[in-house]
Amino acid sequence: MAVSYKKLWKLLIDKDMKKKDLRAATGISSASMAKLAKNENVTTDVLVRICNALGCDLADIMELVPDVPSDKK
């Protein structure tokens, strides 16, 4: 399973926030923001900070998506 943060980016748009606004509100590093942008794993601390700042739940900012199966020969 892979992680997708598309919900987070949609939520930021709905709240009229930019990534830099989220960084300022949460205190997370630019490295963590880069990981989020690439749908890479981040610590639960980062996710909790985002949820606290946006007043939402984990399910509102991320989802698990199935891995794309490779072609079997």
Residue 37's CATH number? 1.10.260.40
Q: What is the overall mean pLDDT for the chain?
A: 93
Would 6 be classed as within a structural domain? yes
Pure H helices in 1-73: 6-14, 19-26, 30-37, 44-54, 58-61
Using the predicted structure, report yes or no on whether residue 69 has a pLDDT greater than 80: no
Q: What are 29-61's pLDDT values in tens digits?
A: 999 999 999 999 999 999 999 999 999 999 999
Which domain range does residue 14 map to? 2-65
Measured distance between the N- and C-terminal CA atoms of the chain, rounded to whole angstroms: 22
Whole-structure pTM value: 0.86
Would 19 be classed as within a structural domain? yes
Would 70 be classed as within a structural domain? no
